[in-house]
Amino acid sequence: MDKFLIRGGKALRGKIAISGAKNSALPCLAAALLTPETVILHNVPYVKDLITQRRLLEDLGATVLTPELRTHKITASNIEIFEAPYELVKTMRASVLALGPLLARFGQAKVSLPGGCAIGTRPIDLHLKAFEKLGAVVSLEAGNVVARAPEGGLVGAEIYFEKVTVTGTENVMMAAVLAKGKTKIFNAAREPEIEDLAELLNKMGARIKGAGTETIEIEGVEGLNGAEHTIIPDRIETGTFIIAAAITNGEIEITGCRPDHLHAVIEKLRSAGVEIEELNQSTLLVKCSKNGLVAKDVTTEPHPLFPTDMQAQYMALMTQAEGVSIINETIFENRFMHASELIRMGANIQISGNKAIVRGKTNLAGAPVQASDLRASASLVLAGLCASGETLIDRVYHIDRGYENIVKKLSSVGAKIERITDSVATTA
């Protein structure tokens, strides 16, 4: 398994360009299953999860061409298989996003039930209940979710999500675009990725209103056409690099981003002493205040509040802030695995239920550590960048899932970071 070796303590300086949003590209690729015509997506990040999603589409029978590295031309005219197998779902839960489109267009879908993952149990019960509301019959057969639309297809309905779910909202939106009549989704997720998906679907001929608010209305249509769409910039990658500048006491210009997609993160970081200047609508200039960082509590919540996907990186930053900060994780029940690794590097963190109490400022010292999930790995990279000595991060396949070229991007602003390829493990 590949590792990252980081020699920390260097202030990062320069420019970093943001890639397309993984969490937007994943459902947009799945949306291409809704039409036999070609869907062209630009700014698809070159990360492992997107390679997996592409493989899923190809396994189902779609043709995916990449005329340029980050452009995908998807034609799903010959779909003969309606199943996402366990081998794919176990490596990437977002494969469940195939359910909605397959059910809507072909009236049937089978997706292996995702198990728990490192950050929690992560059920998909709310997706399934919503499909049932649209008239589907859903059963569990040998570890697979099997969903069938009624004769004549799905029928629009009123769906109230008892908990805000991002992929659940996306799945239902994709199922409802081809249903008969009107669907209303209440308590919908409001993430920018939902709006991006709705924009693509509307370009394909869908009639969706209200995406980005908590009530989404969808008027079903007979069929969808091809479309061309550019994926929004990744707000979590942006937030991670803001913290990279602040934690190393450096100065980074972050280009090609959407500051309006991360208000809560920017506001929280400013309150903790990070200087963030919006040079224009897509460029941020970030540096640490001369007075240093101050501890600020944070609670993760659905968009537009502070995202759970920035919690681990924020914890790394708080180890460098003066005072005590309480980090309250309300979205996933087991998302503090990075804490024990940060403690091994010298951080003072106490976990109590879904709260982490960080006492700073502590001097971090490099150590061998293990990445446990995607965002936890980012937090260890950030800690390694400000630690003295060498940090060796194992299991970086987690970070490869969602950060495009992170070694190259960080090296370009002066970080001492290299990938160590374990050829024995890689070929095994």
Residues lying near ligand UD1 in the complex (CB under 6 A) are found at 23, 26, 93-94, 120, 122-127, 163, 165-168, 307-309, 331-332
Pairwise CA distance, residues 26 & 98, whole Å: 10
Q: With contact defined as beta carbons under 8 Å apart, do 129 and 137 qualify?
A: no
CB-nearer residue toward ligand UD1: 308 or 362: 308
Tell me how far, at minimum, the Cβ of 306 lies from ligand UD1, in Å.
11
Tell me how far, at minimum, the Cβ of 66 lies from ligand UD1, in Å.
21
CB-nearer residue toward ligand UD1: 94 or 136: 94
Q: Is 257 a catalytic site residue?
A: no
Q: With contact defined as beta carbons under 8 Å apart, do 414 and 22 qualify?
A: no
Cα atoms in the 13 Å half-sphere on the side-chain side of 324: 5
Residue 89: strand pairing partners: none
Tell me how far, at minimum, the Cβ of 156 lies from ligand UD1, in Å.
20
Pairwise CA distance, residues 419 & 371, whole Å: 14
CB-nearer residue toward ligand UD1: 167 or 248: 167
* Dihedral angle sign, alpha carbons of residues 306, 238, 247, 399: positive
CB-nearer residue toward ligand UD1: 27 or 135: 27
Tell me how far, at minimum, the Cβ of 236 lies from ligand UD1, in Å.
8
Indicate the pairing of strand 38-42 with strand 227-230: parallel
Alpha-carbon Rg for the chain, nearest whole angstrom, is: 22
Query: Cα 316 to the chain's mean position, in Å?
Result: 19
Query: Cα 18 to the chain's mean position, in Å?
Result: 14
Tell me how far, at minimum, the Cβ of 384 lies from ligand UD1, in Å.
22
CB-nearer residue toward ligand UD1: 52 or 167: 167
Task: Please list, in sequence order, all residues whose beta carbon lies within 8 angstroms of the beta carbon of residue 237, skipping any fewer than 6 positions away.
Answer: 18, 19, 21, 402, 403, 404
* Active-site hit among 28, 117, 257, 288: 117
Catalytic residue positions, numbered: 117
